[in-house]
Structure 1
């Protein structure tokens, strides 16, 4: 099968990936019940055959079951065809969520992921959320050791502020920062994205389709199952969704003019942000995967980009992207290294 996906350099340490990746979370967790393994393995193999080689998972998806799924999918020669990304840092203890970046935890999490994935080395290993109880330099010190030991190749951060990225990068080069970036989530453009570009760090855009809203519109809310966590997110609440449907309607109008789907238009917008950006839309359906790959062929003029951005400006979207107590880059500052006393 001819590859349909171009390759890009992610960051400046030598990692090369497909220009579009595959977010695997929804196969196992958070967006409704887990999907059958054999269907998801077929989907992953189809993605790789089509040229999508960056596969994104985390130890907290399940927890653990998504990594086990990828481990099964990567047997029998598939491992060599992909760049594998996983994450650590969100730990579930007695039903409570805690964020950890202490060296002992970092190492144990990495060993656990290697085992579940059935691999000797993880290509890109992210800190999923920043542990604000200890200096970022402490976490990075252990990640640097894991690179030196050959257990991980490249280090990433997810939902980290500009100053956290800068401090981490001074300990060991950061290859990629994963952040939410789409037509309806653009807050990272102010400071985080320029910092990544200044330091030569690649950008991995998660939820580039607005958690499905930019492909399905407001009707998606009617299909949420009881274990779909989107039902608790501010933007999907009744008082906001009614307003936010305007965003979908405007994207749909332009997509119709372009002869593509709203999802393809929204993804194409992310692709047009630069060759240092790799969106990782997730899906559990082969037809949606094919549609997402089709977004790489949608070309936008600077006028069309400006029109899209003016129609979907920040003041049009109602509701935060996460609930008030969630950890994001906005509250990811860590104490100075000088304040840390190892136990």
Structure 2
């Protein structure tokens, strides 16, 4: 069994696994189907058994379903898990209506989260985004108050700009930044990643396969009901050109005897000891493959080939990460 390395989440943060488990896809979000709950719980427990202690969820994933699921999985083994929770998004009928980041709403959200998770304290609590609808001082200040009350241990932030990260950290020390990062989405390398490193903030990197683009399984055109069709990256000639780029990744993966998904995760992992790949899965069978990705090392030639082929801007079109 792969031995998962432990790292400090941020310069002065807690010890967590270098690989995180994203639990979102275990619940119906954006109209996705309901997964086998027994298998999802078993997947979380198998991850914990394997040394993966960082579990990422959100109070709006499946209208609380995901937190209930995580709560069932960690019952009786709270000390084995580090729970990261996002809040702030308002959904109705699987459609996101906007954000509610008012202090009164945050205080309401966390009480429901604690009950659904069956715990007394959330390890990492973070607004899912910031939209200037509420002063940042009020949003971050409310989480800081919850830390003082003992309902939260550490402050996280998600999908924000470099300037917002500096400001949030000035209000209260930020332990972790959750952000999309992959070979296909490297725009954060210019400013956000350097600021996080400068401030000693850990990076929790999701979407390592860029919504499936780097999995090696995607073909053009996509099925009509594929959610990726909403994004210009996956439309028409953009997708055709982007998949040509992926062929280089697939060849390197074949040469190394690994899967394209493993390569995509391994590249993110190789970007620094302060960066944690956050991988979503809902089946136990995916655990060994994803864990083995953490052991993969690249030659300088392989890194050069990947970085050249997937230089910032090389992938055509955008996703919500470029909003």
TM-score range (shorter-chain normalised) is over 0.9
Comparing 90-99 with 100-109, greater Cα deviation is found at 90-99
What CA distance in whole angstroms lies between the structure 1 residues aligned with 2:228 and 2:89?
A: 18
Kindly state the Cα deviation for residue 68 of structure 1 after the two structures are TM-superposed: 1.1
Deviation (angstroms), 1:221:
7.0
Deviations along 1:133-176, one digit per CA (max 9) or x if unpaired, are 22211111111000001101001110111111111111110000
Larger mean Cα displacement after TM superposition, 128-137 or 18-27: 128-137
Structure 1: unaligned runs, 5 residues or longer: 323-327, 332-343
Between the aligned partners of 2:284 and 2:219, the Cα distance in structure 1 is 21
The match for 2:303 is 305
- Separation (CA, whole Å) in 2 of partners of 1:168 and 1:249: 40
Contact 1:127 1:158 in 2 (8 A): yes
Larger mean CA deviation between 177-186 and 90-99 belongs to 90-99
**2: CA distance between counterparts of 1:220 and 1:264?**
22
**1:183 Cα deviation from its structure 2 partner:** 0.5
| Poorly superposed stretches of 4+, deviation over 6 Å | none
Q: Does 1:24 align with 2:23?
A: yes
Local SS of the residue matching 1:57: strand
State the SS of the aligned residue for 2:133.
Answer: coil
Partner of 1:136: 136
1:219 and 2:251 aligned: no
- Cα distance in 2 for residues equivalent to 1:302 and 1:47: 31
Asked if 2 retains the 8 angstrom alpha-carbon contact of 1:30 and 1:229, the reply is: no
| C-alpha distance in 2 between matches for 1:82 and 1:48 | 7
Quickly say closer, same or farther: Cα 1:119–1:148, change in 2 above 3 A.
same
**2:151 matched residue in structure 1:** 151
1:234 deviates by 2.5
- Give the TM-score taking structure 2 as reference length: 0.93
Provide closer, same or farther for how the CA distance between residues 245 and 18 of structure 1 changes in structure 2, counting only shifts above 3 A: same
Question: Following the alignment from structure 2 to structure 1, what is the Cα–Cα distance between the partners of residues 213 and 96?
Answer: 29
How far the C-alpha of 1:302 sits from its partner, in A, is 2.9
Mark the runs of 5 or more structure 2 residues left unpaired by the alignment: none
Q: CA contact under 8 A between 2:17 and 2:54: conserved in structure 1? A: yes
Alpha-carbon distance in 2 for matches of 1:229, 1:114:
31
Partner of 1:85: 84
What secondary structure sits across from 1:195 in the alignment? helix
- Do the aligned partners of 1:10 and 1:202 also contact (CA within 8 Å) in 2? yes
Shift in Å, 1:93: 5.6
Pair 1:132–1:221, CA change in 2 (3 A): farther
Once residues 288 and 261 of structure 2 are traced to their aligned partners in structure 1, the CA distance between those partners, rounded to angstroms, is: 11
Report the Cα distance in structure 1 between the residues aligned to 2:236 and 2:154, rounded to whole angstroms. Answer: 41
TM-score, normalised via structure 1 length: 0.88
- Is 1:294 matched with 2:288? no
Residue correspondences, number: 321
- Structure 2 CA distance for aligned equivalents of residues 259 and 92 of structure 1: 42
Q: CA RMSD in A?
A: 2.0
**2 CA distance for matches of 1:223 and 1:42?**
30
Q: Which residue of 2 aligns with 1:335?
A: none
Deviation at 1:223, TM superposition (A): 6.2
CA separation in 2, counterparts of 1:14 and 1:318? 37
CA-to-aligned-CA distance 1:238-296 (integer Å, 9 cap, x gap)? 34222211132110001111221111111111111000000111012223221111111
